[in-house]
Structure 1
Amino acid sequence: MGVKLEVFRMVLYLTFPVAMFWVSNQAEWFEDSVILRKRELWPPEKESQRQELEGFKDRLRKQREEKLLRSAQQSS
């Protein structure tokens, strides 16, 4: 029974990873579960959201520049 058991274990050890690789690389499964779930969690950006974010970045950049300018003027 030792040889048969070893052959069974070897087949099992080789079959499981190959089967998981094959299942996880199916395009239909990937589309259905991964991409749709990603779109649920992170919906595509709207133009207004992008503009809001750009405005926020500009305000932060201006505040940082003003702070650096004030500190440079005070030190000289």
Structure 2
Amino acid sequence: MGVKIEVFRMMLYLSFPVTMFWISNQAEYFEEYIVKRKVRKSFKRKELEDFKERMRVRKEQRLLKSEN
């Protein structure tokens, strides 16, 4: 009985990483999760850059008002 359990455990240990590798390399998974995530990330980066620019302009205006 001990050999059968060891064979089962070894198959389980080997099948899990192989299955996860196979699932993660599916084209649908890659497109749905990775590509869409990058698009959202670039959109957030654009929003952050716009915010920084608005804050920079606001600070410059405040400094110009305080000098006058």
- TM-score normalized with structure 2 length: 0.60
Q: Which runs of 5+ in 1 are unaligned?
A: 50-76
Match of 1:26 in 2: 26
Task: Compare CA radii of gyration and give the structure with the larger one.
Answer: 1
| Corresponding residue pairs, total | 46
Task: Determine what percentage of the aligned residue pairs are the same residue.
Answer: 61
- Report the CA distance between 1:39 and its aligned residue: 0.5
- Give the gaps of 5 or more residues in structure 2: 50-68
CA RMSD of aligned residues (A): 1.9
The AA in structure 1 aligned to 2:26 is Q
Which structure dedicates a bigger proportion of its chain to helix?
2
RCO (CA 8 Å, sep 6+): is it higher in 1 or 2? 2
Task: Show the 5 A alignment for 1:31-42.
Answer: 31-42=31-42
What's the CA shift for 1:40? Answer: 0.6
Aligned to 1:5: 5
Please give the alpha-carbon distance, in whole angstroms, between the structure 2 residues aligned to 1:42 and 1:20.
28
